[in-house]
Structure 1
Amino acid sequence: MLIVHVLAQAAVAASPAPANQGVTSYPASFFANQQPANAAEMLDRVPGFVLDTGDSVRGFEGAAGNVIIDGRRPASKTDDLEQILRRIPASRVERIDIIRGGAPGIDMQGKTVIANVVRKAGGGLTGLVAVAQNHTADGRTALAARAEAQGEFGPRKWDLGFYAGKGIDDGYGQGEAIRRYADGRPTVTADLDQEGDLLDWQGTGTFETPLLGGVARMNGRVSERKYKFDEDFRILAPAPALEESDEMFHENDAELGVNYTRSLNARTAIELVGLRQDGTFDIVSRFAAGPATSTFELDRETTETIGRAVLKYRHDDRLSFEGGGEFAVNELESASRLFVNGVDQDLPAADVQVKEERGEAFVKATWRPISAWTVDSSLRYETSTISSDGDVVLEKTLHYWKPRVSVTWDALKQTQFRFRVEREVGQLNFDDFVASSRFSSGGGVTAGNPDLNPEQAWVAEAAVEQRFWGSGSVLMAFRHYELKDVVDRGPVFGPAGEVFDRPENIGDGTKDELALEASIPFDRVGLKGLLLRGEVTKRWSEVTDPTTLEKREISRLEPLEWEAGLTQDLPRQRINLGVNVFGGFRERYYRYNVVETVKFSTYVHPFIEWKPRPDIHIRFEAPNVTGRGVRRTIVSYPGPRNAGGPPAMEHRDVKAPQMWYVRVRKTFGG
């Protein structure tokens, strides 16, 4: 489970430079009291900024995060943006520029706020080694190690990184379950024991050099992940029995990318991007209840090849243009099998080969008519041809116009209003094209569906940000989505009349979001170095259920999520400490015969970091000190939910084990 840690900014040694044409600069001295180790930790302390690492989609344009480095986006997709930032030592950062709403010459990448990490020129060899241990209350231990190095020789720059370690899935634990049937069978009570563990390693490298009058930056990444999940469902009544589920997957990825930029004259520049990704994914999922067994197997290979060219023209400090195009070829080969009691079953879309050829042309413009107003706009045209062979034979071509206009108004020196209207077109997830399984909690097998259309939305957004006390900010935003071709769940029939759940386009819908973000320093009231930071998002959604034809919310969408962090910097003691609170949330999944609700309870995560020397950081965390609870409610019908049959109901209550984490990091150079 992905956990977003909110590590807030504390007292400042210097104030940020005043905003100039939508850009606020934070020099290295702004972060001196916190002694951050890298660019990611510096961004954690920038008021009003929340890191967005981008989307896991095909193509390059739509996968962008909200951080650029030296004015350019990293030519990588599989290398996590936060990890890239963690490999930039704080000693190498000259300043961080926050661009709100847009600025001439800056590609906002579809975001309303982005950060530009500007590195210092020159510098010798720097790097770090770090070791960490995570220990759980149930006796498991996970060790990890990381090594990184960066350097320069003349105008050339390089960096290398390697990580290897074990991870513990904090969404599982021990608990109990109760299963009630509507057909008169006795109630089942059981104990639950769940574990999920990950083995992971990855190597990364980049090299930057002058080339043909410009600058070329090459990056490479290789990684391997092995994950194992086990569940024992020990039935206590009405008679002792055991249901076992286990799942294992093995994933390999490799990526090679290059970014080339060159100034043609004082106003014009070109940017070229090339990228290639290859990946394999194998999974084996098993379920056993006495003599009854089910086994699902999947083998998948994917490739992606991207070429991109952009021409940039900056007329002056008030007006700039960009134009260009991108072409991507994605291929997937997938083979899946389902065995029930050892007998091979017919499974829709079991063996498929999918190819997508996708092109996009775009023009962008940023205009500042007067100093208080900025207009950032773009028009993109996307076309894609998707073909499928194997069990599903089809070919279709899709075309979409994607306009966007964002307007920013600096009403007062510290007050900014932002407005956005955009047509968003989601990308089809190749995972939806192929079958998958989830035997634990009764999920069963999900069929694939290569004949999906991407979800589309007209989005209107309004936001206001108020900055105060030098390093404080409050942001409120409202977004409304008019949705088309919503991707959710629906039934499909197998060759022998079997019914399977699968991804489906279920029609139109709406979604609304109200978000509040705040960063409040307490220096002005005498509590130097103390800062409260948090965010909360409320969502509403509505679609028509394809089974019952009734209105309901969109599957997987969390109606409410929030988190908050309180931190204290003690520079004289060389200590940073704090506590993060992650709010409980709910997710609901609708299938043709099942409604599953998952509720995660609020949990608390304290930490303390001590820096006995500038080059040594020792950090201790209690990631789940309160013991996170997870309640899963599965309502299962004997057939489609609209057929009138009484459902069975199962409640599962699991408490994740408490954890203790310690890390020692040694930096060198710089």
Structure 2
Amino acid sequence: MGLAQDAPDAPAPASGAGATTPLRSFDPGYFDRFAPRTALDMVRQIPGFSIAEGEDRRGLGQGGSNVLINGERFSGKSNDVVSELGRIGASNVIRIELIDGATLNLPGLTGQVVNIVSKVDSLTGQFRWSPRVRFRRTDPQFLDGEVSISGKAGKIAYTLSLSNDSFRNGNAGIERVLDANGAVTDRRYEELYVDGDRPRIAAGVKYQGDGGQVGNLNLSYERGWTEIREDSDGEVVRDRDYLETEKEYNYEIGGDFLFPLWGGNLKLIGLRRFEHSPFFTRIFLDFEDRRPREGNRLATVIDETETIARAEYGWKAGKADWQLSVEGAINKLDTRAELNLLDTAGTFQPVPLPGSDAVVEEKRAEMGLSYGRPLSSTLTLQTSLGGEYSQIVQSGVGGLTRSFIRPKGFVSLAWKATPRLDLSLRLQRDVGQLNFFDFVASADLGAENQNSGNPELVPQQSWNVDFQATQNLGALGSINAKAFVNFVEDIVDQVPIGATGEAPGNIASATIWGVSLDSTFKMDVIGWTGVRFDIDYTYRKSSLPDPLTGIRRRISGDTIHEFSAELRYDIPGGDWAMGANYSDFSQADEVRLSQLAEFPIRGGDLGFYIENKNVRGLTVRAGLSNLIGTNEAFRRTFYVGRRDGPVAFVEDRERFFGPVVSLGINGSF
């Protein structure tokens, strides 16, 4: 039986995680009862830990995922670390270390971080197949899965994978239209189908030289499609036929190379990402009173490019770790759109959509100096100071060129209060990432909404305070609690544009705070051998002044709470396991200047599963979820003029999709 230890039995081999003592170290035997196939299976069983991918970070700098592989950050963005963990065979894992991020010589990490210490000595492979079937109205999902191989040739380790993210979703139900007095003016039966596949090929190459050189190269190419169909039969609009499609391809090339230089280590990092996305939307309306058919269509082509170069030079001076970093980036969005309206003769005629054809480009440079050192045997300091310069250029109608200088940095403390209680505190000055689509005029035909372009947008900034406490319960498990508060300047939300328009824009200030809990309880210590209970909970509250009414409200569409719980029983001495899980969430209203959209979801997702960990060498899990009938309700209020005026009408929708049957087959070769 493997153990979770309070200290590692050997030093970590990698540059990033080797400078600190882990909070706990898990050898492969600790995970035996779960029969893991991959490193991802192992990480998901670490008590009180949840993976945070950090995909929306600005550039390749500090922060990012709370997972390291051999002490190193993963040099990718869309080619994510979760997928990478799924390609590392469990047999290649030496141990997994749980570390306080503030004690690492990797600036920006705080709270719990896991480091996967692994090796590749021979050719190995992993595969999974994840079919799923909804009971009602949707086609079976047969094509979701992945196969990967890993091997080593001399000083080169490599991984190749072929995967597909497949989805076959949908729902159906009644939508009522009510007038301002609540009287029903139309009743519609609607069915929604959302289908798609995202096949991807990816490769990773790692070089480890004799003189401390380490190089990584990660490549991926994806070609996906999505089709959304919605059919509506009503008493006024007899038939509404909605179609939306996307056929996309994208690629990413990311890599880094670290080598000793002048008594320290220099790491060069680069990334190039491109995405080409043609969208097409078409709507036809046929009426009960036989008036002429109405319709419109929108064709949009979007090209997104991101190019980043970064250099990090780190060195040690006594007990202190220093790092100087510089980064340059060019981000670009190129959009072209064509809107057409069906005339009474049944012919589509072009309609102007000012501001929809545009190019938005940001050129950014940043520099930072980081410093970290232990202040005592139980207290560690890490701090960083820097700034960034960015220039945003928008062509097209109303285009502008603007420049910004933004300070950024942080200070964090990690304190080992007792042998089993770890505390961390972090204060950060952060610069947010802009969504370039907010600069450009756009239309959403399905929701019957339109945004004006807003070239006046600026990046938001914030002061962030984060506190985290991890209580190691020994054989009973672990509790990890977090609390945070953010004071945000220039937050982006829906604002008025001109006399009648609206678009995402900046609001002077907002406050966001929240708490979260990740906990694991292993019942073996009280005699319930093989029973494990996981509870995760997050609550988030935000507040800003509504730009129309002046009354404070939550950020539009912001998460309010998320809850999940799982009870798992691994039958002692055998290959069978079973479990139950439950999850639910809620979100704030989506606010526009003339509409208010609510999501009154009732009933969470309750499911059960049974698993055999050795079916001719495979792990097979069968599951049944959504047993209490989670609905996907939606209520949207339209106003006369803007939202401070009287109600015009209300759309009230309730849809269901029934139970879901899933099968997971995982194996190694």
Same fold by TM-score, threshold 0.5 exceeded?
yes
Residue 254 (structure 2) aligns with: 257
8 Å CA contact 2:62, 2:107 repeated in 1? no
SS at match of 1:32: helix
Alignment-mate amino acid for residue 243 of structure 1: R
Specify whether residues 314 and 613 from structure 1 end up closer, same or farther in structure 2 by C-alpha distance, changes over 3 A only.
farther
Residue 563 (structure 1) aligns with: 564
Farther-moved stretch of structure 1 (83-92 vs 289-298): 289-298
8 Å CA contact 1:22, 1:102 repeated in 2? no
1:665 is displaced (CA, Å) by: 2.7
Quick check: 1:432 aligned with 2:438?
A: yes
SS at match of 1:559: strand
8 Å CA contact 2:37, 2:667 repeated in 1? no
Alignment-mate amino acid for residue 403 of structure 1: G
Farther-moved stretch of structure 1 (619-628 vs 514-523): 619-628
Quick check: 1:15 aligned with 2:11?
A: no
Residue 271 (structure 2) aligns with: 275
Separation in structure 1 between the aligned mates of residue 505 and residue 107 of structure 2, nearest angstrom:
33
Residue 166 (structure 2) aligns with: 166
Deviations 1:21-42 (A, max 9, x none): 4542212222122111111111
Residue 511 (structure 1) aligns with: 512
Separation in structure 2 between the aligned mates of residue 471 and residue 569 of structure 1, nearest angstrom:
16
Specify whether residues 293 and 240 from structure 1 end up closer, same or farther in structure 2 by C-alpha distance, changes over 3 A only.
closer
Specify whether residues 514 and 665 from structure 1 end up closer, same or farther in structure 2 by C-alpha distance, changes over 3 A only.
closer
Residue 470 (structure 2) aligns with: 465
SS at match of 1:367: strand
Quick check: 1:387 aligned with 2:393?
A: yes
Residue 230 (structure 1) aligns with: 229
Separation in structure 2 between the aligned mates of residue 528 and residue 212 of structure 1, nearest angstrom:
47
Separation in structure 2 between the aligned mates of residue 35 and residue 563 of structure 1, nearest angstrom:
23
1:43 is displaced (CA, Å) by: 0.7
Farther-moved stretch of structure 1 (358-367 vs 612-621): 612-621
SS at match of 1:173: strand
Residue 550 (structure 1) aligns with: 551
Residue 65 (structure 2) aligns with: 65
Alignment-mate amino acid for residue 254 of structure 1: Y
1:584 is displaced (CA, Å) by: 3.5
Residue 117 (structure 1) aligns with: 116
SS at match of 2:568: strand
Specify whether residues 663 and 484 from structure 1 end up closer, same or farther in structure 2 by C-alpha distance, changes over 3 A only.
same
Residue pairs, 1:443-458, within 5 angstroms: 443-458=448-463
Deviations 1:462-499 (A, max 9, x none): 23221113351122222111111110112335xxx8x4
Which gives a bigger RCO, structure 1 or 2 (Cα 8 Å, sep 6+)?
A: 1
Residue 284 (structure 2) aligns with: 288
Alignment-mate amino acid for residue 42 of structure 1: M
Separation in structure 2 between the aligned mates of residue 585 and residue 183 of structure 1, nearest angstrom:
28
Deviations 1:329-381 (A, max 9, x none): 11221112222333333324211111111111111122111111111211231
8 Å CA contact 2:330, 2:361 repeated in 1? yes
Residue pairs, 1:513-528, within 5 angstroms: 513-528=514-529
Specify whether residues 425 and 345 from structure 1 end up closer, same or farther in structure 2 by C-alpha distance, changes over 3 A only.
same
8 Å CA contact 1:366, 1:375 repeated in 2? yes
Quick check: 1:99 aligned with 2:99?
A: yes
Separation in structure 1 between the aligned mates of residue 62 and residue 593 of structure 2, nearest angstrom:
32
Specify whether residues 646 and 104 from structure 1 end up closer, same or farther in structure 2 by C-alpha distance, changes over 3 A only.
closer
SS at match of 1:647: strand
Residue 216 (structure 1) aligns with: 215
Separation in structure 2 between the aligned mates of residue 308 and residue 538 of structure 1, nearest angstrom:
35
Alignment-mate amino acid for residue 205 of structure 1: A
1:620 is displaced (CA, Å) by: 1.4
Residue 487 (structure 1) aligns with: 492
Specify whether residues 435 and 168 from structure 1 end up closer, same or farther in structure 2 by C-alpha distance, changes over 3 A only.
farther
Residue 134 (structure 2) aligns with: 136
1:617 is displaced (CA, Å) by: 1.5
**Equivalenced residues, count:** 643
1:87 is displaced (CA, Å) by: 0.5
Alignment-mate amino acid for residue 365 of structure 1: Y
Specify whether residues 615 and 111 from structure 1 end up closer, same or farther in structure 2 by C-alpha distance, changes over 3 A only.
farther
Deviations 1:537-589 (A, max 9, x none): 22222111112222211111122221111112235221232222112423311
**Among the aligned pairs, what percent are the same residue?**
24
Give the superposed CA RMSD. 2.2
Residue 300 (structure 1) aligns with: 302
Structure 1: where are the runs of 5+ without partners?
1-11
8 Å CA contact 1:13, 1:33 repeated in 2? no
Alignment-mate amino acid for residue 606 of structure 1: F
1:63 is displaced (CA, Å) by: 7.0
1:142 is displaced (CA, Å) by: 1.3
Residue 635 (structure 1) aligns with: 637
Deviations 1:214-260 (A, max 9, x none): 1221111000111111112211x4x5612232211122111112210
Residue pairs, 1:240-251, within 5 angstroms: 241-251=238-248
Farther-moved stretch of structure 1 (217-226 vs 125-134): 125-134
Specify whether residues 555 and 612 from structure 1 end up closer, same or farther in structure 2 by C-alpha distance, changes over 3 A only.
same
Farther-moved stretch of structure 1 (345-354 vs 153-162): 345-354
Residue 44 (structure 2) aligns with: 44
SS at match of 1:627: coil
Alignment-mate amino acid for residue 258 of structure 1: G
1:292 is displaced (CA, Å) by: 1.7
8 Å CA contact 1:467, 1:474 repeated in 2? yes
8 Å CA contact 2:100, 2:110 repeated in 1? no
1:211 is displaced (CA, Å) by: 5.8
Residue 9 (structure 1) aligns with: none
Residue 154 (structure 1) aligns with: 154
Specify whether residues 610 and 574 from structure 1 end up closer, same or farther in structure 2 by C-alpha distance, changes over 3 A only.
same
Structure 2: where are the runs of 5+ without partners?
9-19, 287-292, 343-347
Specify whether residues 615 and 358 from structure 1 end up closer, same or farther in structure 2 by C-alpha distance, changes over 3 A only.
farther
Separation in structure 1 between the aligned mates of residue 323 and residue 338 of structure 2, nearest angstrom:
48
Quick check: 1:580 aligned with 2:585?
A: no
Separation in structure 2 between the aligned mates of residue 165 and residue 416 of structure 1, nearest angstrom:
38
